Structure 1
Amino acid sequence: MESIMIYVPAILAVLGLLFMWAKRSWVMKQDAGDGKMKEISSHIYEGALAFLNAEYRLLSLFVVGASIALAAIAYVVPTTHYLIIVAFIFGAFFSALAGNMGMKIATQTNVRTTQAARSSLPQALKVSFGGGTVMGLGVAGLAVLGLTVFFILFYQYFMGGEWTNTNQMTVVLETLAGFSLGAESIALFARVGGGIYTKAADVGADLVGKVEAGIPEDDPRNPATIADNVGDNVGDVAGMGADLFGSYVATVLAAMVLGNYIIEDMGGNIVEEGFGGIGPILLPMAIAGAGIIISIIGTMLVKISSNSAKEAEVQKALNIGNWTAIILVAISSYFLVIWMLPKETLTMGFFVGGAEGFEYMNINSIRVFYACLVGIVVGGVISAVTEFYTGLGKKPVLSIVQNSSTGAGTNIIAGLATGMISTFLSVLLFALAIWASYAFAGFYGVALAASAMMATTAMQLAIDAFGPIADNAG
C-alpha cells in the first residue's frame, strides 16, 4: 500500500468527480417548470455565460504573457524548469473550468429548485443542495487531481520515481508551483471582476426598482433583476469557485514544500520509514484526498423530512453535514499522520529569534496531528461565528433590523459596525491557530493546520453555492 500511496489522492479525486457527474445528471433530470420559468432561467444562464466568455478571453491574453515571463524565469533560476509553463497553463485552465462548471450548474439548478418547491420543501432543498454539491466536488476534485497528477509526472521526470535528494525535490516542487500560480492568477481576476459586477448589478437593480419605480426587490417588471441574478452566479459561484480552487491548491502545495524541508532537516534519512522517503510531502495530498470522500458523506446527510420545516431546521441539516465532515477529517488525519510520518521523531527547525536563528528539535508525530487538529477546530469555530453574525433570527441581524426603523443612515451605521465587529473573532482565532500549530510542529504544523482546515472545501463550497442557487430560485 505504501508504494502506491502517491496515486491514492488522484484516485480519490477521480471518485469525487464521478460522484459529481452522477449528481449533476440527477439534477439535470429534474423538472425545469413551465415555459416562462425556463425563459427567465435561460436569460440568467446566457448573461452569466456571456460575462465569463468575455472575462476568459481577456485572461487568455494574460496567461500567454505570464507564460513568456515564466519562460524567462526558468532560464535564469536553476531550481525550476521550463515545464513550469505547462503547469501554469493547466492551473489556469483548471481554475477557469472549475468556476465555469459551477456557474453552469448553478444557473441550471435555480429553475429546477423553483419547480421542486411547488411540491415540497425537502425536495427543493435536495435539488438546490445537489447543485451546490456539484460545484463543491468539481472544485475540490479538479484541484486534488491536477496537483497530484502533475506531482507524479514531475516526480517521475526529474527523479525517476525514486527519492534522490532534497535539491531534486525542490526542482519538482518549484515546477509544480506553476500549477498553483496559474490557479491563483485566474482566481484573482475572477473573484474581483465577478464581485464588482455582482455589487454593481445588485445596487443598480435596487436603485431602479425599489427607489425609482417603487416596486419590490427581484420584481419581474424590473429588467435589472436579470443582471442582479447573473451577478450572483458570476461572483458568488464562478468567482468563488476559482478563488477557493486557487487557495486550496496553494495551501496543499505550501505544506508539501515544507515537508521537503523536514526531510532536509533529517538529512534525507527517512527512506526506511516507507512511502519512498517522501511521507511528509505526500501527507497533505493524502489529507486532501480523504477530505473529498468525507465531503461526499457530509453532503448525503443534508436533508429534511418535514414539508413544514422552519429555516432553523434547514440550517440544522446543513450544520449536521458540515460538522460530520469536520469530525471525520479529524479522525482520518490522526490515522494518516501516524501512518505516514516517521514513528519515532521528526527533526524540525523552530525560530528562536535574535542571533540564534533556528533551533532544531525532535518531535513526535502525534504533535503534528495536534497541529492538524488546531486547524480543524478553528475552521469549525469560524463556521459557527459566521453563522452567528449572518443568520436570520440571530442577535447581530436583529440589531441591524431594529436600527433600520429610524432610517437609512442608522441602517448603514449598524451594518458597518456589525461587519467590523464580526471580523474580530476570526482574526483572533487565526492568530491563535498560527501560534498553537507552530508551537506543536513548527512551520510544517502551520501549513498542515491550514491543509486540514481546507480538507472539507467540497462540503463548504456546496453550502456556499447552495445560497445563490436558492436566491435565484426565489
Structure 2
Amino acid sequence: MVGFAILIFLFLGSVEGFSTSSQPCTFDQTKMCKPALATALFSTVSFLLGGITSVVSGFLGMKIATYANARTTLEARKGVGKAFITAFRSGAVMGFLLAANGLLVLFITINLFKLYYGDDWGGLFEAITGYGLGGSSMALFGRVGGGIYTKAADVGADLVGKVERNIPEDDPRNPAVIADNVGDNVGDIAGMGSDLFGSYAESSCAALVVASISSFGINHEMTPMLYPLIVSSVGILVCLITTLFATDFFEIKAVKEIEPALKKQLIISTVLMTLGIAIVSWIALPSSFTIFNFGTQKVVKNW
C-alpha cells in the first residue's frame, strides 16, 4: 500500500513539475487554486486513509463472520427462525459498520482538508478522490488473494480427500477442509467487504467531484456540496428501519418464508429510500443550479 501511495504522489506531483506555486483553476481561470504538489500530497494521504479503512472493514467483517457462523449453528437447533435472525443481524452489522466507517472517515477527511483548501472545492475533492482509489486497491488484494488461497485449498482438499483417501467432500477428517473454509472467509467476507467499501467510496467521491464544479460549489454552499454524504446517511437510517421488519416485526417460522422476507426487505427499502432521497433533495439542493464543464454551463433543475 505504501508503494502505491509513493507512485501516486510521484505521478500527481510530476504533472506540474512538483510546482509549489498556485495555478489557475481548471473550471474557473479567474481564480487561483492550490499547487500541484499539495494536491499530490493530500491525494496520497486520502489514498492511505481509504486503504486503511478498507483493511479495517475487511478485518472486522471476518471477525463478525467467525462469531456469526458458530452462533447461527447453535441457534439452528432451536429452529430456522432463530438461525435466520442471527445470520441476518450479523450480516446487517457488517453492512452498517462498513457504511458508517466509510462515511465517518470521509466526512472527517473532508473537514480536515478544508482547513488547508478553504474555498477551493475543486482542489479539495480532487484530493479526496484518492480515498476511493485506496479502498479499491485493497479490495483487489483481498479478492484476488482470497480467491487464490481458497481455490488452492479447495483443489488440495479434493485431491487428497476424494482421490487418495476416498472420503466425501468437506469431511471433517480432512484437514484441508479447514483451510478451504478460511479461504472462503478471506475471499467472500473480507474481500467482499473491501470491495463493497471501494465501490461505496468511489461513487461518493465521484459525486463530490461533480458537486465541486457546480454553481453551488462556486458559491461555497456547504449543504449542497455534501449532498452525496447526506444521501448515504439517509440510506443507513432506511436500512436500519428496514432491518426491523425482518427481525422484529415479522417472525420466520419455515424455510419457505425466508425468500418472501428478503423480498419484503427489497421492496420496503426501495420505497423508503425513494421517499428519503426526494425529501433530502428538496431540502438540500437549490431549485436550480449549474454544472460547469470547461466553460460550458449546463443548467439543472430539481424537477
2:75 corresponds to which letter in structure 1? A
Matched residue, 2:289: 346
Q: Which runs of 5+ in 1 are unaligned?
A: 1-62, 351-356, 367-474
2:240 corresponds to which letter in structure 1? I
> 1:445-468, CA deviations, whole angstroms, 9 ceiling, x for partnerless residues?
xxxxxxxxxxxxxxxxxxxxxxxx
Secondary structure class of the residue paired with 1:317: helix
> Structure 2 residue aligned with 1:179, among 118, 122, 131?
131
Counterparts in 2 of 1:103-142, with a 5 A limit? 103-142=62-101
Matched, 1:72 2:10: yes
Task: Report the alpha carbon displacement of residue 245 of structure 1 after superposing the two structures with TM.
Answer: 0.7
> 1:109-162, CA deviations, whole angstroms, 9 ceiling, x for partnerless residues?
111111111112111111122221221111111111111110111123320xxx
Q: Which runs of 5+ in 2 are unaligned?
A: 17-34
User: Aligned partners of 1:114, 1:336: CA distance in 2, in Å?
Assistant: 41
> 1:274-324, CA deviations, whole angstroms, 9 ceiling, x for partnerless residues?
xx52444311111011111111122222246354x02x3112222222332
2:4 corresponds to which letter in structure 1? A
> 1:349-392, CA deviations, whole angstroms, 9 ceiling, x for partnerless residues?
69xxxxxx9974433212xxxxxxxxxxxxxxxxxxxxxxxxxx
Task: Report the alpha carbon displacement of residue 334 of structure 1 after superposing the two structures with TM.
Answer: 0.7
Secondary structure class of the residue paired with 2:226: helix
Matched, 1:363 2:300: yes
Secondary structure class of the residue paired with 1:221: coil
Check whether the contact 1:256–1:280 (CA below 8 A) recurs between aligned residues.
Answer: no
Evaluate the alpha carbon distance shift between residue 349 and residue 68 of structure 1 in structure 2; reply closer, same or farther with a 3 A threshold.
Answer: closer
> Structure 2 residue aligned with 1:282, among 193, 205, 226?
226
Q: TM-score, normalised by structure 1?
A: 0.55
Matched residue, 1:95: 54
> 1:151-188, CA deviations, whole angstroms, 9 ceiling, x for partnerless residues?
111123320xxxx4xxx212211221222222121111
Check whether the contact 2:103–2:232 (CA below 8 A) recurs between aligned residues.
Answer: yes
**Higher helix proportion:** 1
Matched residue, 2:107: 148
Task: Report the alpha carbon displacement of residue 73 of structure 1 after superposing the two structures with TM.
Answer: 4.0
Matched, 1:250 2:205: no
Matched, 1:223 2:175: yes
The aligned length equals: 280
Identity %: 41
1:363 corresponds to which letter in structure 2? V
Matched residue, 1:314: 258
Secondary structure class of the residue paired with 2:173: coil
Secondary structure class of the residue paired with 2:246: coil
Evaluate the alpha carbon distance shift between residue 226 and residue 267 of structure 1 in structure 2; reply closer, same or farther with a 3 A threshold.
Answer: closer
Evaluate the alpha carbon distance shift between residue 306 and residue 179 of structure 1 in structure 2; reply closer, same or farther with a 3 A threshold.
Answer: closer
Evaluate the alpha carbon distance shift between residue 306 and residue 142 of structure 1 in structure 2; reply closer, same or farther with a 3 A threshold.
Answer: closer
Task: Report the alpha carbon displacement of residue 211 of structure 1 after superposing the two structures with TM.
Answer: 5.0
Counterparts in 2 of 1:293-442, with a 5 A limit? 293-303=237-247, 305-307=251-253, 309-310=254-255, 312-343=256-287, 345-348=288-291, 360-366=297-303
Matched residue, 2:143: 191
Check whether the contact 2:84–2:252 (CA below 8 A) recurs between aligned residues.
Answer: no
Matched residue, 2:26: none
Task: Report the alpha carbon displacement of residue 236 of structure 1 after superposing the two structures with TM.
Answer: 0.6
1:69 corresponds to which letter in structure 2? L
1:337 corresponds to which letter in structure 2? S
User: Aligned partners of 1:315, 1:286: CA distance in 2, in Å?
Assistant: 31
Over 6 Å off, 4+ runs: none
Q: TM-score, normalised by structure 2?
A: 0.83
Please report the RMSD computed on the Cα atoms of aligned residues, expressed in angstroms: 2.4
